[in-house]
């Protein structure tokens, strides 16, 4: 089972690293910026998770495989032919960003719940759910802040809500169905909600201008 968890986390790391690197390229950052944004997106949620759980130093700093994987993927995305292809094909870049971000969100959401369970934090459904959500969305929030954008989770489609649904379901059914079924269910629910919301442009209600900022 540890091998399965490692595999899932590495897949999530690759997915989020692509998301961060593509965002950096869209912002016309240099290689250093691409690498840092890819790294931050990939490991940021896990670092926040470990700090919340008191699991210090965070796993990222104890096992460099995650950071090295994220940096390697980011550099690959920066390679000139790949970079030019993505920047010259807006539809493909958008699709890649959306898919990788959704996969990373779903994988890290259930991974967060799993880590909390592994540390014995099983007495609070709220804590398990919160940690799952933070693990899923934390890297993306840090990515957007570093890129100078309003965090995606606050303005675009259903995103954090998808992680919330998946994490809550995963944590709630874990005692009854076990780790494998709970994680698979939480992953599937998170990914399905996220992809459907992106496709159909589902969004939570947005605040409208009240006229104080010059808008009608």
160-169: per-residue pLDDT in tens? Answer: 999 999 999 9
In the numeric block, the tokens 């929030």 are attached to 141
First to last CA, the chain: 57
What ranges do the domains of the chain cover? Answer: 2-200
Residue with token string 């967060």: 112
pLDDT tens profile 175-203: 999 999 999 999 999 999 999 988 888 77
CB atoms < 10 A from the CB of 105, how many?
A: 31
Percent with pLDDT over 70 in the chain: 93
Two structure tokens written together for 209: 């201008």
User: Rounded to whole angstroms, how far apart are CA atoms 42 and 73?
Assistant: 10
The whole model's pTM is what?
Answer: 0.86
- 104 in Cβ contact with 16 (< 8 Å): yes
**Residue whose token pair is 């994987």:** 69
Percent of the chain with pLDDT over 90: 58
Provide the mean pLDDT of the chain.
88
For residue 7, what pLDDT is reported?
Answer: 81
pLDDT at 211 over 60: no
Q: Which of 42, 37, 34 is nearest to 15 (CA)?
A: 42
Q: Residue for token digits 């912002």? A: 27
- The stretch 114-130 carries a mean pLDDT of 90
Rounded to 5°, angle at Cα 195 from 53 and 138 = 25
- Structure token digits, residue 36: 């840092």
Asked if 128 and 171 count as a contact pair (C-beta separation under 8 A), the reply is: yes
What is the C-alpha to C-alpha distance for residues 81 and 54, in angstroms, rounded to an integer? 43
Q: How confident is the model at residue 38 (pLDDT cuts 50, 70, 90)?
A: very high
């Amino acid at each position: 089972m540890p091998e399965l968890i490692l595999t899932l986390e590495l897949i999530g790391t690759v997915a989020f690293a692509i998301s961060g690197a593509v965002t950096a390229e869209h912002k016309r950052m240099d290689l250093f910026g691409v690498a840092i944004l890819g790294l931050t997106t990939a490991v940021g949620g896990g670092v926040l998770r470990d700090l919340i759980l008191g699991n210090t130093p965070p796993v990222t700093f104890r096992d460099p495989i995650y950071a090295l994987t994220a940096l390697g993927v980011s550099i690959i995305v920066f390679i000139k032919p790949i970079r030019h292809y993505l920047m010259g094909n807006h539809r493909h870049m958008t699709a890649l960003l959306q898919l990788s971000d959704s996969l990373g969100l779903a994988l890290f959401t259930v991974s967060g719940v799993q880590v909390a369970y592994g540390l014995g934090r099983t007495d609070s459904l709220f804590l398990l759910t919160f940690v799952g959500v933070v693990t899923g969305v934390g890297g993306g929030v840090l990515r957007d802040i570093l890129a100078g954008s309003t965090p995606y989770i606050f303005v675009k489609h259903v995103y954090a809500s998808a992680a919330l649904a998946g994490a809550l379901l995963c944590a709630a059914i874990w005692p009854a169905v076990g780790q494998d079924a709970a994680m698979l269910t939480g992953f599937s629910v998170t990914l399905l909600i996220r992809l459907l919301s992106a496709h159909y442009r589902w969004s939570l209600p947005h605040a409208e201008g009240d006229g104080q900022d010059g808008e009608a």
